[in-house]
Amino acid sequence: MITARARRGRLLLAAAVALLAVTILASLMIGARGVAPAVVLEAFLHPDPDSADHIVILTQRVPRTVIGVLAGAALALAGTLMQGLTRNPLADPGLLGINAGASVAVLGAITIWGITAPSGFVWFAFAGAAVAAVIVAVIGTRGPDGSSPAKLALTGAAVTAGLTAVTTLVLTTSITAFDVFRYWQVGGLTVRGLDTVAVVAVPILVGAIIAFTSARGLDLLALGDDTATGLGHSVARTRALGIVATVLLCGGATSIAGPIVFVGLLVPHALRALVGGDYRWLLAIGAPAGAIVLLTADILGRVIALPGEVQAGLVVAFVGAPVLISLVLRPGKVTL
């Protein structure tokens, strides 16, 4: 028998998928050069190399739309995982030092190896994110009492602070590094092609699969470590899998879109008001919802400062900062 919550979840999932389809179409249509839906369809079915509209759609808007879908979904899933693993309602993927680790690695690629193309940053950003998360996980699980939400959060904050200091030091001593790095640091969906997306698509997909299979474990963790253990669940295994999934998801998203903040914080909170704390639905609906948020931010960034653009990372941060402040000021409204 299907419960009322399950029916609501299915309806919301269907609505999210439909809205994502509309958002994808809007992303292909809207910009400094607007095109009609019929032109978008024609560009896919009968591409004309002499058509300026077709060139814009296929070479510019398709890559940034694909990046927006992948990065938005990955960040939303990673944020949901982090809030579940740490039982911290204000956690986001940056809690494990992932963004800071990716930033240091990108700076190393610029200053040491002289890499200036965004496609060259991908593996460095991914590796830096992974190394930072591993360091946090290893330190945060040491000690006689093993891992705990507080230890992971504090360790992540300490590692993030240290890596941020390194980033600031390099940027203040190298003008070349600053000029190249700032375009990646702001967070956006431009200047990257589908070849770059292909590099991280598989890790993101693997991370998503691990995240979905961890839903039951996250539900049990929400009851507390002792209760979850008493029910026969391995808390350490769930946390380990969750950290691996977060690294794959957020590392992949950060490497192709830069360190975009707040998507992983906003989406889970918005969904909890609709579907409650069931992580099966939070993750399932969160993936298309995260893609919708990031794509919508990118679309807004294209039109609010014509003829120029505002990067999606700035738009998301502009909206997310007030939301975070409201969460801090109203802790009684935040539940896991």
pLDDT tier for residue 335 given thresholds of 50, 70 and 90: very low
42 pLDDT more than 50? yes
Task: Choose between 259 and 16: higher pLDDT.
Answer: 16
pLDDT of residue 33: 81
pLDDT single digits (tens) 127-141:
888 888 888 878 877
Q: How far is CA 234 from CA 139, 158, 204, 221, 239, in A?
A: 20, 27, 25, 10, 9
pLDDT average, residue stretch 48-53? 87
The Cα–Cα gap between 138 and 116 comes to: 32
Question: Lowest-confidence range among 15-24, 185-194, 233-242, 274-283?
Answer: 185-194
In this prediction, residues 17-34 reach a mean pLDDT of 92
Count of structural domains within the chain: 1
Check residue 71 and give its pLDDT: 93
- Encode pLDDT of 257-315 as tens digits: 888 878 888 898 888 888 888 899 999 999 999 999 999 999 999 888 777 788 888 88
Whose tokens are 């986001």? That residue is 92
Map residue 177 onto helix, strand or coil.
helix
Mean pLDDT in residue range 148-163: 81
Compute the distance between CA of residue 115 and CA of residue 11 in angstroms, rounded to an integer.
47
pLDDT at 212: 94
Tens-place pLDDT, residues 80-106: 998 888 877 767 777 678 888 888 888
CA distances, 186 to each of 116, 179, 210, 241 (Å): 16, 12, 29, 30
Which tokens in the block code for residue 51?
């058509």
Report, as an integer, the average pLDDT of 170-183: 78
Confidence band of 336 (pLDDT split at 50, 70, 90): very low
Q: How many residues does the chain have?
A: 336
Q: 32 falls in which pLDDT band (50, 70, 90)? A: confident
Identify the helix (H) or strand (E) that includes residue 259.
none
- Name the strand (E) or helix (H) holding 133: helix 118-140
Least confident of 64-78, 111-125, 196-210: 111-125
Q: Please enumerate in sequence order all residues whose Cβ is within 8 A of that of 75, keeping only pairs 6 or more positions apart, or say none.
A: 93, 249, 250, 253, 260, 263, 264, 267, 290, 294
Count CB neighbours of 47 within 10 A: 12
- Tell me the CATH number at 326: 1.10.3470.10
- Tally helices (H) and strands (E) across the chain: 15, 0
- Interacting residues of 121 by C-beta distance below 8 A, sequence separation 6+: 106, 109, 115, 184, 255
Short-list 80, 19, 76, CA closest to 253: 76
Asked whether residue 118 carries a pLDDT value surpassing 70, the answer given is no
Please give the Cα distance from 271 to 77 (Å, whole number).
12
Provide the pLDDT for residue 207: 93
User: In which domain, by residue range, is 327 found?
Assistant: 4-333
Task: Give the span between the Cα atoms of 4 and 25, in whole angstroms.
Answer: 32
Lowest mean pLDDT among 68-72, 162-166, 311-315, 326-330: 326-330
Mean pLDDT of 5-23: 91
**Would you say residue 158 has pLDDT above 60?**
yes
